[in-house]
């Protein structure tokens, strides 16, 4: 049972605690321990296996940057695939784009979706009921290896590379995920906080480089993910997606007419300007 404080134990050298005002849900699914607690600063907050996943107050930063950056970089997204994302926040942001005709979401744990629909409805905002959504309960690795569908953008909204999320950081998975992209498609990934999780980002970039003509990452600062800015992997064979002018992005953003709180075209471009320690991480020892 929860105490007055919940302590995240993801990192071996430091801990992050959140004061629990109320336990809204606590239980174990087939795959993991699930908890939703209320905190005065972050609001309702989701934990999986003791690791913070998302909160009502800061989820918009993470979800906006992992959806609108690839969608507006691409410019003509019709079909999108989300692996993970049981809270529905990624789905909700993607569906703001009326040009999207089909949003396929693959989640391994049905109980997480059901629990989030019940206890965190402000994150998904009814997205699961949108007629454009194809919600699939399956292993994301199996899905990308067997589906005959193809997508303009694939978003890997995974947990950290422990437990059920570990296989979503492997060479075979990334290769299969690239295989479901249409020509000119974009793959983006959640890659943790590089200041304290540099191995996670370095591993993804090492695997991305043989797969994509353009393999890099971009950053956003999400308060709940402590230790510095968070990294998102970005891979595509179309170099044009990262050669866009601010004016082009502004025009696409205006046409999309989406309601956002963090994303702007200027932030989009600036997110790819990486500090030295992140550049060193993604370059790897063979490029240093």
Give catalytic residue positions: 157
Q: Kindly state the tokens that stand for 150.
A: 């193809």
Rounded CA-CA distance 64/220 in Å is: 10
Residue from 253, 286, 284, 283 nearest 268 by CA:
253
For the chain, the residue count is 288
Rounded CA-CA distance 199/214 in Å is: 20
Residue from 200, 269, 267, 268 nearest 233 by CA:
200
CB pairs under 8 A, 24+ apart, for 57-61? 57/223, 58/222, 58/223, 58/224, 59/87, 59/89, 59/123, 60/260, 60/261, 60/262, 61/220, 61/221, 61/222, 61/223, 61/261, 61/262
Residue 159 in 3-state DSSP? Answer: coil
Q: How would you classify the pairing of strands 79-84 and 151-157?
A: parallel
Rounded CA-CA distance 254/251 in Å is: 5
Residue 147 in 3-state DSSP? Answer: coil
Residue pair 217/205 in contact by the 8 Å Cβ criterion: yes
């Amino acid at each position: 049972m929860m105490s007055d404080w919940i302590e995240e134990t993801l990192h071996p050298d430091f801990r992050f605690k959140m004061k629990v005002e109320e336990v809204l849900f606590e239980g174990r699914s087939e795959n993991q321990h699930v908890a939703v607690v209320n905190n005065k600063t972050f609001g309702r907050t989701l934990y999986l296996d003791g690791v913070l996943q998302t909160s009502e107050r800061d989820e918009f930063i993470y979800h906006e940057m992992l959806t609108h950056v690839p969608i507006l970089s691409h410019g003509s997204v019709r079909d999108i695939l989300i692996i993970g994302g049981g809270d529905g926040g990624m789905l909700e942001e993607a569906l703001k784009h009326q040009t999207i005709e089909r949003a396929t979401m693959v989640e391994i744990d049905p109980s997480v979706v059901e629990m989030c629909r019940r206890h965190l409805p402000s994150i998904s905002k009814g997205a699961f009921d949108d007629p454009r959504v194809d919600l699939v309960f399956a292993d994301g690795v199996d899905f990308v290896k067997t589906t005959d569908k193809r997508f303009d953008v694939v978003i890997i909204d995974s947990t950290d590379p422990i437990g059920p999320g570990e296989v979503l950081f492997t060479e075979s998975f990334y290769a299969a995920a690239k295989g479901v992209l249409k020509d000119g498609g974009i793959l983006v990934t959640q890659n943790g906080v590089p200041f304290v999780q540099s191995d996670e980002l370095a591993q993804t970039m090492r695997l991305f480089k043989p797969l994509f003509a353009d393999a890099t990452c971009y950053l956003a600062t999400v308060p709940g993910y402590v230790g510095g800015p968070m990294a998102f992997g970005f891979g595509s064979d179309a170099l044009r997606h990262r050669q866009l002018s601010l004016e082009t992005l502004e025009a696409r953003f205006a046409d999309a007419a989406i309601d956002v709180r963090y994303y702007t075209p200027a932030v989009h471009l600036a997110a790819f300007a990486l500090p030295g320690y992140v550049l060193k991480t993604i370059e790897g020892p063979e490029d240093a």
